Amino acid sequence: MSNSRITALNGLSYDVVVVGAGAVGCAAARELAGRGFKTLLVDRGDIGAGTSSRSSRMLYSGVGYLAPPFPLWQLPFRPVTMLRRFVYSRNIMHCRAELVRDMPNRLTLHRFHYPFRKGDRYPHWLVEFGFRMMEAVCSRNVPLSFRRLSPAQAASESGLVAALGGPLSSVGVFDEYMYAWPERICVDTALDAERRGATIRTYTKVTGIKRRGEKWEISLNDQAPEANGQASITADAIVNAAGPWVDKIPGGGMGKKRRVLGRKGVNVMVRLPTAWRGQGLEAFSSKGENFYVFPWGDYHFIGPTELVVTEDPDNVRVLDTEVDYILNEANLLFPQLALTRKDVLHTWCGVRPMSTRDGETVSLPVRAIHDREMPGLITVTGSYIMMHRHAGRLAAKLIEKRLGKRGAPPKGMLPTKAAADIHEIMRNEHVVRLVDLLRRRLTIGLNPSLGCDQAEELSHIAAAAAGWSESRRQEELRHFEEDTSRIYQRVRP
């Protein structure tokens, strides 16, 4: 349903308010509502419009997280670190199996490749052991189907492998899943939270959080076009799930202590040879960092970068030097490609919220932090979209520990198919702006033109469904074009 006036919330009280309607916030709201808590989910923008819509779009198996961040000779002396990495990878594998079971039509299955070369950082037998151990112990009947082939055999099966520069000693072949539509996963999860009893308010900014006796007082401001209302509500507990913005929620932080540090990931969309369609690659860059080639319809996107950033995630953009780096790394892997900026369709970047502890970055694990000095305020950090349900459960368990268990209402059914009728979508799926419809309710926003080729036509349908004036329709078109240029950037040759 569409947002009502924000003043209707004024004076209401909730068990839990979840701040941030990305993948983690939606999952937390779904989990909390399913456990019987009166839950409000708010976001300053649309559902899934932040980091969740700028991810690598991969439901990763997590095997790479087994790799130790220290020399192998130290392994016997650091068993606790390795156990933590195993548990983290296991949790990812379990989340992978859960989403394959619950959302099969939101995922696509692809054959991926891992090149083994002489002089690799990790012994080849150890990498193979990692794949086979995770499949045997943690796959939950969603196999990796790992095989290790000779270069000639792998090349005969894959045009992508045949184009790899040498020398190769062997090639690992395995199955990975991609999100066909990560934004829609967020929407589906939010709608399921609503079916379970949660209230959803998009385009609602938290402007202040204060402790009042035994409760929290939250100030809200309406951010929707043609709206200018405010409201004050109370809650027994708060889940701060604002991703890389958790430290920027007024009153929801921990003073000067950072809980997240942003890691910028850039992706570059290109069209590669037709024989490579649907195939992917995971490897290491010349700097020893993770590097991938991911399939996306007729295209592939390549990346990422691994740059730590401290500026506001709203202001992070793709730099020319980052595009050049990614293209250069791709050309090192595939010497015959000779990619240049002219081959780039568009680029985008996201900021991953890496957890921190005592000022140091903690890559693992996902954390749900309960600060004793701020009772009832839970902050979730360090989660990727592939771990969103796990993160939601962590937050819900801490809320139960704080508020006690509730009698859970009947659980809703997680929707797996988007409504086909635009009028129905506008009516029932919290669409406020045209960009919400094109980018996160329909697949149109993910086509090669990023929805620009159908925006005019669909704006008329949306205007009729929502009762927009002609001036509002034109404003929505301008906003969609500006948002597209901001998120998906074209590259100058």
- Other CB atoms within a 10 A radius of the CB of residue 360 amount to 8
pLDDT in tens, 334-385: 999 999 999 999 999 999 888 887 555 666 678 888 878 889 999 999 888 9
Q: How far is CA 218 from the centre of its chain?
A: 26
pLDDT in tens, 109-140: 999 999 999 888 889 999 999 999 999 999 99
3-state helix, strand, coil in the chain (%, to 5): 40, 25, 35
| Residue 143: closest CA among 114, 113, 100, 178 | 100
DSSP secondary-structure letter at 412?
Answer: P
Q: Which residues pair with 355 in a beta bridge?
A: 260, 362
| Residue 379: closest CA among 394, 390, 364 | 394
Per-residue pLDDT of the chain (493 residues; tens, 9 = 90+): 456 789 999 999 999 999 999 999 999 999 999 999 999 999 999 999 998 988 888 998 889 889 888 889 999 999 998 998 999 999 999 999 999 999 999 999 999 999 999 888 889 999 999 999 999 999 999 999 999 999 999 999 999 999 999 899 999 999 999 998 889 999 999 999 999 999 999 999 999 999 999 999 999 999 999 888 999 999 999 999 999 999 999 887 666 678 888 889 999 999 999 999 999 999 988 888 889 999 999 999 999 988 888 888 999 999 999 999 999 999 999 999 999 999 999 999 999 888 887 555 666 678 888 878 889 999 999 888 999 999 999 999 999 999 999 877 655 555 545 446 899 999 999 999 999 999 999 988 888 899 999 999 999 999 999 999 999 999 999 999 999 999 999 887 7
Report yes or no: 276 and 298 within 8 Å, Cβ to Cβ: no
Report yes or no: 206 and 19 within 8 Å, Cβ to Cβ: yes
Q: What angle do CA 487, 208, 374 make, to 5 degrees?
A: 110
Answer left, alpha or beta for residue 54, where phi above 0 means left and psi between -120 and 50 means alpha: alpha
DSSP letter for each residue of 50-114:
SGGGGS--EE---GGGGS-SS-GGGGGG-HHHHHHHHHHHHHHHHHHHHHHHH-GGGEEEEEEEE
Hunting for tokens 């409504």 — which residue is that? 419
Structure token digits, residue 491: 């590259």
Report yes or no: 435 and 483 within 8 Å, Cβ to Cβ: yes
H or E stretch covering 424 = helix 422-428
